[in-house]
Chains A and B, each alone.
Chain A
Amino acid sequence: MVLDSKVPEGPLAEKWDSHKFNVKLVNPANKRKFKILVVGTGLAGASAAATLGELGYEVEAFTFHDSPRRAHSIAAQGGINGAKNYRNDGDSIYRLFYDTIKGGDYRGREANTYRLAQVSVDIIDQMAAQGVPFAREYGGLLANRSFGGAQVSRTFYARGQTGQQLLLGAYQQMMGQVNAGKVKLHTRMEMLDLVTKDGEAVGIVCRNLLTGEITSHSGHAVVLATGGYGNVFYLSTNAMACNVTAAWRAHRKGAYFANPCYTQIHPTCIPAADEFQSKLTLMSESLRNDGRIWVPRDPDEKRAAKDIPEEERYYYLEEKYPAFGNLVPRDVASRNAKTVVDQGLGVGPLKNGVYLDFAAAIERDGLDKVWERYSNLMEMYERITGEDPRETPMRIFPATHYTMGGLWVDYNLMTSIPSLYACGEANFSDHGANRLGASALMQGLADGYFVLPYTIGDSLAGKLGTDPVSTDDPVFADAEQAVRDRIDTFMSINGTRSPDYFHRELGKLIWNYIGMERDQNGLEKAIAEIRALREEFWKDLRVLGNSDTLNSSLEKAGRVADFFELGELMARDALDREESCGGHFRAESQTPEGEALRDDENFAHVSAWEWHDADTPQTKHAEELVFENVELTQRSYK
């Protein structure tokens, strides 16, 4: 199959408008004749379900959570970008577009990114109308801040709970449609397979997590808004239940998986305290505005941080990057932390962190000022570690946070399977090889509110007068049987190790070989070791209890099984991409100063992988990226 991105012709700024005019429309009276299945009710899914319901489609929404309000979107703290230029500081749609393309290290699609910047403006309006209590100035107008090193203040926020407030807005809007009878909501339902007929998506198979019942659901289109796959690392800032299963099942049914090796590692997380650690907690990057990052120069240092004299401290970011200092981009900050920890300079009981020190800021601005700025983060830190950052420096270390890769989609957000769409973090579309802070919430809502509801009509219009494929069709029976067989297998292996054990071991492989720095040798090892561990998983897994009640071990087993296959593909993709770009750093491809070195001649493309079977490596399809508006430059933060 040739990858057709369906990017419309014409000047960048006019593409979306002309596309909206050219896509087929479904007449308002006919919309109710179409059933759309939306899987996932985070920001992307809830906003899509609500909007499709408002437009008049029959929508069924599915989530494995007990309520849509629990989706992982709720955890986002920092904010959401919008090119409103309310601060009059020179922001514009073009600037947000440019920053996003550049921030993604020129590995994103220009047209998608421009559209994202365009609709960012409408998102803020829509969310304010939904009653999202954004932070405000005394005059009553919306407040903004600069986020993640941006040169303009374009980030809107609601205390440290922006994701929560946006999700509540989208969830409530969707519940309004549930109330109106336009959206049927299925909670505690996990999609375990995609059903296709003649190469087209026709429905899904789900397991009811409370009763174990397996059911089929059919529709004219299926939308996956099932989030990212950061939990493949085991330890990440993602919620415990985040997983790749929905996207992976679609991949196995023919949807191409794009750029799986693009993962974002966030520099300011709390390091693991012990081997039982189940997840890592992110602290807002804003801490780097005032905190100074350092490690002791002596690997055998035993003194408490405050007793180490200035000249024996290694302020490695300030020394290496005098211009940007502690505010270098996420990937640079993360990689440098890893370097010093690998050199044995790490701090804390497990020597797995670096200091983030507020002493200088406290001396300069006074304790009150610093506390006012960061009290909620400092309290959170103290709650988790038992240490007071006003007295002793925080300890931080990078953790996996976001995945730029995902299901390949065209400009309409349709995957390589006709009638199957992907929205939000589940798709690969808008961030290239690295995502700017405060842009994931924006993308999820852009997709769900303003893009998909238009573009989906294009494929639906041709189906007017046809019913969805009946769930009595053998394609559904076959898919259901496959799901049941897989569950029976998990229940009957009767080995000795829990799904968590395998997840943790897999996570270590991924972190060590496909983490912040990758090289050929390590990636080849990763593939072999992941395979070996996967074999062990299928022989030695232990799932206790029954499959007809709530059984989180069983749920976990299915998710871990899919993470194994994904992990291998991540390694393959990273191996294939013999350049460094954004969140993907290949040790073999660096500048003399040790910075990421792109290879635009050979790798200015999207790698979209096609599934064959569990023992045959996927085939790569390249979508060449065309840059008509921006000039590709090498990043430098010296």
Chain B
Amino acid sequence: MSNTLNLTLQIWRQEGPNAAGRFETYEARDIPDDASFLEMLDVVNENLIEDGKVPIEFPHDCREGICGTCGVMINGRAHGQEKGTATCQLHMRKFSDGDTIAIEPWRAAAFPVVKDLVVDRSPLDAVIEAGGFITAPTGTAADANETPIPKEAADSAMDAAACIGCGACIAACPNSAGQLFTSAKLWHLNSLPQGQPERFKRTEAMVETMEQFFGSCTNHGECSEACPKEISLDFIAYMNRDYIKSKRVNRKLAGQR
């Protein structure tokens, strides 16, 4: 049988975007160590409801580490202390009986709190909308095998595409910079043959949209440390290179018209 834990939780409560927030303390009793972190919060919520208190809102959906919905600061770290692990994949056996755990929403000006632990991450969609796609209308595609892609290139694109868009990189960054997220999408698309025609237009548009929302990157590397998919910092370097080039290339392309 599994062991159980008794924990003290300090959880950020905030009624709405404009309300003042505060930490509240809760006791979580008899939590099986097989439970996931979010199941622990489920138990706390069930008890709150039983006591007639409004349950804690926290973000989650797939609980398999793939949808990118979950994500809270656990003891000051985005997704907690386990490397390469989204909040939903964190299990209570990684904690000890008697621990005090501080739980806060993502901290970033671009991600305003919606309620309690839930934030608004719509700027991430805005960055994608700016150019994070390949224009290939349905029905126009040639046979998939007409464009061979070296396995290494496909694998490298896949490494970047593994980003789940949770926003931990931004929450972990002292500047709330969006470089890791943006560069991962750029490398995914820019490194593939299909992504070449729009490469520089895409890069310029996405980088500049990113800058409207997020802070500047000063190479701390906290983003990659916090990333549940361990996305590499290298992509940021590739993005910077493409961005500089985009300024020249895009002007030249504009001049050709």
Does B101 reach chain A (CB closer than 8 Å)? Answer: no
Smallest CB gap from A242: residue in B: B61
B162 pairs with A161, CB closer than 8 A: yes
Q: Residues 52-81 of chain B: 1 if any A CB is under 8 Å from the residue's CB, otherwise 0?
A: 111101011111101111000000000000
Task: Kindly identify which residue among A164, A171, A449 contacts B66, using a CB–CB cutoff of 8 Å.
Answer: A164
Looking at the assembled complex, report how far the CB atom of B126 sits from the nearest CB atom of chain A, in whole angstroms. Answer: 9
A549 at the interface (CB under 8 A from B): yes
User: Contact mask A133-147 → B, CB, 8 Å, 1/0?
Assistant: 111111111100000
Residues 136-193 (chain A) with a chain B CB within 8 angstroms: 136-142, 158-159, 161, 163-165, 168, 171-173, 175-176, 178-179, 185, 187
Q: Which of A527-567 contact B (CB under 8 A)?
A: 542, 544-545, 549-553
The CA of A281 and the CA of B165, in the complex, are separated in Å by 21
Q: Would B142 and A179 count as touching, CB distance under 8 A?
A: no
In the bound complex, how far is the Cα of B192 from the Cα of A175, in angstroms? 19
A274 interfacial by beta-carbon distance below 8 Å: yes
Docked pose: A165 CA to B164 CA in angstroms: 10
Known: A164-B164, A544-B53. A125 touches B144 (CB 8 A): yes
A125 touches B141 (CB 8 A): yes
Task: Assess whether B34 is in contact with A274, with CB atoms less than 8 Å apart.
Answer: yes
Segment with Cβ contacts to B, from A65-73, A197-205, A581-589: A65-73
Give the chain B neighbours of A124 by CB distance below 8 A. 144
Q: Which of A68, A142, A240, A450 contacts B61, CB < 8 Å? A: A240
Q: Is the CB of A131 within 8 A of B189?
A: yes
User: How far in angstroms is the closest Cβ of chain B from A356?
Assistant: 19
A545→B115 CA distance, assembly (Å)? 12
For B66, the chain A residues whose CB sits under 8 A away are 74-75, 161, 163-164
Q: Is the CB of B136 within 8 A of A126?
A: yes
Q: What residues on A are CB-neighbors of B50 within 8 Å?
A: 496, 498
Nearest to B195 among chain A residues (CB) is A131
C-alpha gap A136/B157 in the complex (Å): 12
Cβ–Cβ < 8 Å partners of B16 in chain A = 549
- Are B61 and A241 in contact, with the CB atoms below 8 A? yes
Interface locus among A380-388, A459-467, A594-602: A380-388
Cβ of A129 within 8 Å of any chain B Cβ, yes or no, is yes
Chain B positions 90 through 132: 1 when the CB is less than 8 Å from some CB of chain A, otherwise 0: 0101000000000000000000001100101110110011111
A131 and B194 contact, CB distance less than 8 A: yes
A553 and B46 CA atoms in complex are apart in Å by: 11
Check: A21 CB closer than 8 A to any chain B CB: no
Min C-beta distance of B82 to chain A, whole Å: 9
On chain B, the number of residues with a Cβ less than 8 Å from chain A's Cβ atoms is: 80
A210 within 8 Å of B by Cβ? yes
**CB of A51 closer than 8 Å to a CB of B:** yes
Answer whether residue B150 sits at the interface, using C-beta atoms and an 8 A cutoff.
Answer: yes
Nearest CB on A from B112, distance (A): 11
Q: Say whether A133 contacts B138, CB under 8 Å.
A: no
Beta-carbon contacts of B179-210 to A below 8 Å, as 1s and 0s? 00000000011001011000000000000000
Pairwise interchain contact B115-A550, C-beta atoms closer than 8 A = yes
| Residue ID in chain A nearest B58 by CB atoms | A552
Segment 273-289 of A: residues with Cβ below 8 Å from B = 273-274, 276-279, 281
**Which of B35-43, B169-177, B230-238 forms contacts with chain A?**
B35-43
Say yes or no: is A54 at the interface (Cβ < 8 Å to chain B).
Answer: yes
Q: Is the CB of B35 within 8 A of A273?
A: yes
- Chain B residue nearest to A237 (CB atoms) is B64
- Tell me whether B91 and A383 are in contact (CB under 8 A): yes
Q: Contacts A66-B122, A67-B124, A178-B129 given; indicate if A138 touches B151 (C-beta within 8 A).
A: yes
- Asked whether, in the complex, the Cβ of A136 is within 8 Å of the Cβ of B151, the reply is yes
Q: Are B138 and A74 in contact, with the CB atoms below 8 A?
A: no
Tell me whether A130 and B134 are in contact in the complex, defined as CB-CB below 8 angstroms, given that A276-B42, A500-B46 are known contacts: yes
Which of B136, B143, B154, B161 is A168 in contact with, Cβ under 8 Å? B161
Pick the contact of B137: A54, A71, A349, A500 (CB < 8 A): A54
Q: In whole angstroms, how far apart are the Cα atoms of A276 and B55 in the complex? A: 16
Which positions in A face B, CB cutoff 8 Å? Answer: 47, 50-51, 54, 65-72, 74-75, 84, 86, 122, 124-131, 133-142, 158-159, 161, 163-165, 168, 171-173, 175-176, 178-179, 185, 187, 210, 239-241, 273-274, 276-279, 281, 349, 383-386, 449-450, 453, 496, 498, 500-501, 542, 544-545, 549-553
**Additional A-B contacts beyond A131-B194, A142-B145 (18; CB < 8 A):** A54-B138, A66-B121, A75-B64, A129-B141, A133-B157, A134-B144, A168-B161, A175-B128, A176-B133, A179-B131, A273-B2, A274-B2, A276-B32, A281-B64, A384-B91, A386-B93, A544-B49, A552-B57
B-to-A contact residues, CB < 8 Å: 1-2, 15-16, 32-36, 38-39, 42-43, 45-46, 49-50, 52-55, 57, 59-64, 66-69, 85, 89, 91, 93, 114-115, 118, 120-122, 124-125, 128-145, 147-151, 154-155, 157-158, 161-162, 164-165, 188-189, 192, 194-195
